[in-house]
Copies of this chain bind each other. A is one copy, B any other.
Amino acid sequence: MINVGLIGAGRMGSFHGATLAHRLPGTRLAAVADPAPGAAERLADRLGSKPKTLTDIHALLTDPAIDAVVISTPARTHADLVEAAAHAGKAVYCEKPMAVTLEEADRAITAAEKAGVPLQVGFNRRYDYGFRAAHEKIAAGGIGTPQLLRSLTRDPKLVDPAPIPPWTIFLETLIHDFDTLRFLNPGAEPVEVFAVADALVRPDCKDRGLLDTAMVTIRFDNGALATAEASFQAVYGYDVRGEVFGSGGMLTMGDVRGTHLTTYGADGVSASTVRYDQDLFHDAYVAELADFTEMVRTGRASAVTGADARAALSVALAAVKSVQSGGPVRIADLEGQ
């Protein structure tokens, strides 16, 4: 039985909490910590299991009864928590992005390595059946050499732009697509990034720095050309798709339809769409924690490493710099920063 401590009881933390409490045989949700008073208790109540609840994250980290932690806090706190958890000797699952600067990423990776603790990052699309099957097919040469790739993320609704930090679209949204493009172009690495972005959903928020729509071009070291696209508001639902075109064929992934029910009426043919990430990626969210706990149990290597997190972050930071400069940015030029 692996005892897991959950850090962060927000939207994603709640989903992970339910997975740890109920969906993984051999795993126990032993504790929930959230600095917001009452948040951990409310989640524990909803789950109907009896984890310890805390507001003091470091008390959870130093609890000897805890084998592993799942970090689901705001992005800017991730790297420090990974470091602290590693120092405390806990296995670490960390939501994306694992860090928001390369220096932070390096510190987190080093800490885990030194402590010898397993570290897995929350790029859930790698656990989606379609994306994973695509990765395997490509890695096995099923479509020859990748030449043109596309990955996109469109969230269903921009409810409140106010609390969104600058560059979120690159650091928190497109970070998924940057990882996906690496996953779908196995063995290749990004070389150059060109990004354009704008406040098209909420032009009224542009003045204060909101970017809600972005398009990024990436050139890989195997010659492949890729685009990553994001929008904070797709009125038709949650839209995550991928496409890989290679010398021997093409793969497409993703479908906004949430069911196999199709309606034929006087207005034509129609079907409903997926509205929530927790619907579209329900199984993938469960599978990534199953894989994490299995890694903890068996001691095998991580399937989504700190190095993967760092590589996706590099693309995101290059995209930020590209928007700032108006020109393309080489990944290699980030390192000296």
Contacts and interface: CB of A to CB of B under 8 A. Distances in A.
A224 B270 CA distance: 24
A215 interface: yes
Contacts of A188: none
A236 B25 contact: no
A264 B271 CA distance: 9
B198 A223 contact: yes
A261 B148 contact: no
Contacts of A229: 148, 227
A225 B213 contact: yes
A201 interface: yes
A166 interface: no
A165 interface: no
B234 A263 contact: no
Contacts of A223: 198, 200, 203
B270 A270 contact: yes
Interface in A102-151: 129-131, 133-134, 137, 142-143, 145, 147-148
Contacts of A226: 215
A26 interface: yes
A235 B254 contact: no
Contacts of A237: 264, 268
A101 interface: no
Interface string A185-219: 00000001010101011010000000001110101
Interface stretch (A75-83, A87-95, A242-250): A242-250
Contact-residue size bin, chain A (C-beta under 8 Å from the other chain): 35 or more
Contacts of A262: 251-253
Contacts of A302: none
Identify which of A147, A254, A267 gathers the most chain B CB atoms within 10 Å of its CB. Answer: A147
A56 interface: no
Contact of A265 (B131, B143, B147, B192): B143
A49 B25 contact: yes
B215 A148 contact: yes
A327 interface: yes
A275 B221 CA distance: 31
Contacts of A131: 261
Contacts of A73: none
B257 A269 contact: yes
A159 interface: no
A203 B198 CA distance: 36
A231 B248 contact: no
A154 B267 CA distance: 16
A159 to B, nearest CB: 15
Given A23-B23, A235-B248, A236-B269, 10 more contacts: A129-B259, A131-B261, A147-B201, A235-B247, A235-B266, A236-B250, A249-B264, A254-B260, A267-B270, A268-B270
7 contacts: A25-B49, A133-B261, A200-B223, A235-B249, A251-B263, A264-B273, A268-B270
A-B residue pairs, 3 tightest by C-beta: A236-B264, A270-B270, A249-B265
